[in-house]
Structure 1
């Protein structure tokens, strides 16, 4: 058995671990320092074994390698060890030999990684995570026990989102993005559907109130808000906003632009899916495994949060996303005003096998208020038709005349939290869409005639 000291190990975390654990009086065989405490080379091999099992997968047993003699992806075992531990060639050879002995099963006469004497490895694209099982338990707890003041939910949300302000993507950007004056997100488009002309007419008399977020206690539940909880659902594009309300043929849908009037901070779910491990994170550090599992779980979670939901399943499927939004809105260490997430209702072809998916943005209650929305009087005077002076016939020509702003004393002041308005209706941006038809894109699968397999009976 050979021995190695911490001075011979280039990987910082492992070097410090060896320095703490070293107790042997045997001299180091790789630098011949007799005064430095050492550990057996098997100590290093055991740590490498755990890292390879956790973070790597075998690449030298694929069909392309076995049958077509292709070069395996990734690196061979000595290269993997050198990259991990950063030791000299003699120490690499000793670690590889120790691992080969460790992986060989004398009973079956087989190695853990196959009969190949020269296994190659690649980093796993995704680690299995116990978080997924815990997430399922949390869903069950929410649906069957309690939504509010649920300690299981609070603890899990803290574990998943607690350090979100420190998360960065592979490009080094934060997952929290700026919105408001001077940023790339300085306005939002919002749509609202009206089934009758009267409903449209009434709403346009006070568009700040009826096109903005519903008041406390009025709005229905949405993807990121419970019923009665104000939230502003907007989009970065007018076409996206129109598509997201899924208007019925024959209805009227109003699309308007809202300027964001003060700085806001938004969590971008697309960026959250690209979270990387901290710079210099050691694969030998148990915290890195936990961080990698969280990273991979976030990818799965963000996908779940943006899946299309049919109306029948909204009450059931929106529960989890609502709870996530509740936690983020009240985050204990980061001020988050809303969430950016991709639209699943609107996709525009960009090129071959490539699509541009629009962005939706939901603003939480603390940022969902529109200027003048709380005025108790109408802010505009509306007419939907004009009369032709020649033949006295009416024709569609909607028009709004806005009056002077009411004094603040005429605003309705609700008890409790009244956030400063973060939105202002761009009054000349209002468009009315009379929905005449809807184009549907689908995957068409014919039902074939034939003999059913035994599994279907």
Structure 2
């Protein structure tokens, strides 16, 4: 087809009815003009073939790749081997059929669009040297997954910034986190499941287990006496830094299984670990990092935002491993900063309301999940202990054979006093029944400790799962260079 013929061809129209690809068809119906279609001879909302060709070119730039026109050396040898049944063919589809199947249009329309694009990319010098140019009719294309290189580079920049430049506030970092997480509630896994899990009554996550290691009996005794205070989340200001919280920021770390809770505290031999079950008493929304590995995006290659979403999808799949990877104790201060920043953003700044995060256990492998509840969702209900109750806990008991470990808690409650009748009188501003309660913790209660579930594990030994590797040692004679 001559160049001037292609120019005339570009002005021809194709109507929405002749395009079956959903997104492209909707664009024609929304932005097209009323013209007579070249392929069905009906008048309706239409794009020119030049306009459709531009859409095809953008889609192919992001979502398709040209496949080799010649076999590799190995493939050529296999093809030429008389004893081999291998018959080399280029991967993918020829240009016309790739366009036809991408846009869901007729072969005639795809051939016309291929002619327009081939003419646009034709090059006299390249043709003289026998080089192929884009959209030539004898090329082959295959659909590819857009990469996440830009997201990876952005993440490296974020990590560098949070570690070395703006640890506590970074406008750039906030923008990057917003791009990643502000639509997390709309994303789904391959099987259609949301990335945000419901927790609380009537869900699969009704309880969490929390462990605390003790190296002295005195601290353990205090915890057994008031586990609602000592085994729950620590008070703000005294909380140590963790994977998902900065120092001083109180959060509740728990696990879906007591074995995981035990493994996560990494207790030393000789210590004692108290593990309690906490009931989740109200509905919570938790981001499941494990589900990020299976996040999936549906869309059209003709949607300019689809490549962006696919790149984000690819990055989020790798982010799960990044956020849960093992971190050496010497590196925790710096390596935890990115995950702390993410958790802080999701807890306080994110558009999607979240109460915490579920994430894989580094210590326990692939069984079960860890959970962190943000400060706003980590309040534990106080135990119902009458005023004046004396509590005594012990970790051992003496028998004839000597002292043996035995954990008991005794509550001595006062005798109930008869109710005193209250006489009505005039308003007294000094009457404490009229005084507003002092300012305190106004967070909604989320957890209730189940005191009867507490178990204490005395750590006698630790077992490690390792991969053993041999070390090969060489000894070579030194050689002097010739020059």
Q: Per the shorter chain, which TM-score range?
A: 0.7 to 0.9
Aligned in 2, Cα 1:399/1:38: closer, same or farther, shift over 3 Å?
closer
2:407 is matched with which residue: 398, 404, 408? 398
Alpha-carbon distance in structure 2 between the residues aligned to 1:169 and 1:5 = 36
Deviation at 1:128, TM superposition (A): 2.8
Mapping for residues 228-377 of structure 1, pairs under 5 Å: 228-278=248-298, 281-347=299-365, 356-372=366-382
SS of the counterpart of 1:429? strand
Aligned in 2, Cα 1:451/1:357: closer, same or farther, shift over 3 Å?
farther
The corresponding residue for 1:386 is 397
Deviation at 1:57, TM superposition (A): 4.0
Asked if 2 retains the 8 angstrom alpha-carbon contact of 1:5 and 1:37, the reply is yes
1:445 is matched with which residue: 469, 476, 483? 469
Asked if 1 retains the 8 angstrom alpha-carbon contact of 2:243 and 2:339, the reply is yes
TM-score (structure 2 length as normaliser): 0.79
2:109 is matched with which residue: 72, 88, 91? 91
Deviation at 1:38, TM superposition (A): 5.0
Asked if 1 retains the 8 angstrom alpha-carbon contact of 2:118 and 2:137, the reply is no
1:55 is matched with which residue: 50, 63, 68? 63
Alpha-carbon distance in structure 1 between the residues aligned to 2:449 and 2:115 = 71
Alpha-carbon distance in structure 1 between the residues aligned to 2:319 and 2:60 = 26
The corresponding residue for 2:160 is 140
Asked if 2 retains the 8 angstrom alpha-carbon contact of 1:59 and 1:73, the reply is yes
**Residues 1:128 and 2:137 are matched in the alignment:** no
Asked if 1 retains the 8 angstrom alpha-carbon contact of 2:232 and 2:380, the reply is yes
Alpha-carbon distance in structure 1 between the residues aligned to 2:161 and 2:98 = 43
**Residues 1:39 and 2:39 are matched in the alignment:** no
Deviation at 1:90, TM superposition (A): 1.0
**Residues 1:30 and 2:39 are matched in the alignment:** yes
The corresponding residue for 1:185 is 205
Alpha-carbon distance in structure 2 between the residues aligned to 1:165 and 1:23 = 37
Alpha-carbon distance in structure 1 between the residues aligned to 2:63 and 2:160 = 30
Asked if 1 retains the 8 angstrom alpha-carbon contact of 2:252 and 2:372, the reply is yes
Post-superposition Cα deviations, 1:320-374, rounded to whole Å, max 9, x if no partner, equal 1111111111245332110011112113xxxxxxxx4321111001111212279
Asked if 2 retains the 8 angstrom alpha-carbon contact of 1:72 and 1:120, the reply is no
Asked if 2 retains the 8 angstrom alpha-carbon contact of 1:21 and 1:39, the reply is no
Asked if 2 retains the 8 angstrom alpha-carbon contact of 1:231 and 1:365, the reply is yes
The corresponding residue for 1:224 is 244
The corresponding residue for 2:422 is none
Q: Larger Cα Rg: Structure 1 or Structure 2?
A: 2
Aligned in 2, Cα 1:49/1:377: closer, same or farther, shift over 3 Å?
farther
Deviation at 1:233, TM superposition (A): 0.7
Name whichever of 368-377 and 130-139 sits farther off: 368-377
Mapping for residues 146-157 of structure 1, pairs under 5 Å: 146-157=166-177
Taking only aligned residues, the RMSD between alpha carbons, in angstroms, comes to 3.5
SS of the counterpart of 1:301? helix
Name whichever of 219-228 and 426-435 sits farther off: 426-435
The corresponding residue for 2:481 is none
SS of the counterpart of 2:393? strand
Deviation at 1:118, TM superposition (A): 5.2
Aligned in 2, Cα 1:62/1:310: closer, same or farther, shift over 3 Å?
farther
Post-superposition Cα deviations, 1:426-446, rounded to whole Å, max 9, x if no partner, equal 112112111122111123232
Unaligned runs of 5+ in 2: 1-5, 79-85, 415-432, 477-483
TM-score (structure 1 length as normaliser): 0.83
1:110 is matched with which residue: 119, 127, 131? 131
Alpha-carbon distance in structure 1 between the residues aligned to 2:169 and 2:438 = 25
Aligned in 2, Cα 1:36/1:337: closer, same or farther, shift over 3 Å?
closer
Unaligned runs of 5+ in 1: 348-355, 453-457
Name whichever of 257-266 and 436-445 sits farther off: 436-445
